[in-house]
Structure 1
């Protein structure tokens, strides 16, 4: 790595020592296409340079420091990707009407179960058109029926609420009851 890049990495990723930052005299070298054995630091750095990769300290607390030959930027990219994937939760919206029949409702409930199994939140919404706003109670009954049908899979995050001409609920998955089948 170039010196300019190393300084910026030091600030962000101070947990990892790379190349010249490693202070041990002897290191156990691991990585692809490399024989795993103990080398002097100079020889390990030469091997890494020959492969056009970085020498990264993995475990400094071992009897001989363990270092891996790898592309450090690629490694950091994968770490960021893992963190983003871990924290990413989507909210899937399922639209209903206050007059949705039972077959259509059961079909949409099955979709909701699939979303919940994938640990996504589900938002059921009912949009009232024209004079149907008069029958808000039918919309609320429909949303409560959805909660009742999914009661083993969910916890209610937001109970039925009105927002203009739209009534909605937000459901999130229970942690211990969901298993992929």
Structure 2
């Protein structure tokens, strides 16, 4: 006996589905806005006639208001402007980058200074720095050395970065996160 499975198949939403245009608008009256149009509340037939007269489309911009707001505009131009706005917004978003620097509890001065220089560069670039001391096996007995190391690290970088929180022990890792100081301060 064959089993039939029902599939929840939804048609993917296309760009055309996001805004209703021309004949898809099904309300008795709309608020009309746009260039070369006298703003106001019109019946849907009158609004469509005004759009057709100009050779443009009637696009529903704000469907939830009473009456819905429609605009007289070329639909392809409208879609292009929307994509352009989305791109600009995406470009303005800042992504926080966290760079990691790893120490051992017995890190000597040369290695410490080498990693300190890297941390300085990361903070100057605007990235956050996550510094941690990783304890292997029974090295956890020397956690005071780890705290000393991280406090020395924070002290050296206090001019260009500040700790978000004091060093915290999580399992076998002693961790601190530094954020770059803003240039306004």
| TM, length-normalised to structure 2 | 0.59
Whole-Å separation in 2 of the counterparts to 1:125 and 1:2 = 47
Shift of 1:71: 2.0
Separation in 2, partners of 1:2, 1:74 = 10
Q: How many Å apart are 1:149 and its aligned residue?
A: 1.0
If you compute each CA radius of gyration, which structure gives the higher value, 1 or 2? 2
1:23 to 28, 34, 40: 34
Cα RMSD for the two superposed structures: 3.2
Structure 1 residue 131, shift from structure 2 partner: 1.7
Q: Determine the structure 1 residue equivalent to 2:83.
A: 74
Find 1:132's aligned residue among 136, 139, 149.
Answer: 139
Match 1:4 to one of 4, 13, 17: 17
User: Are residues 1:144 and 2:144 paired?
Assistant: no
| 1:154 corresponds to which of 131, 141, 161 | 161
* Dislocated runs of 4+, deviation >6 Å: none
Q: Distance in 1 between matches of 2:124 and 2:36?
A: 51
Q: Deviations over 1:142-181 (max 9, x none)?
A: 1011101101011111211111111111111110279xxx
- Runs of 5+ in structure 1 lacking a partner? 9-20, 27-40, 57-69
How many positions carry a matched residue from both structures?
132
The offset of 1:73, in angstroms, is 4.3
Q: Could you say what secondary structure the match of 2:159 adopts?
A: coil
TM-score by length of 1: 0.61
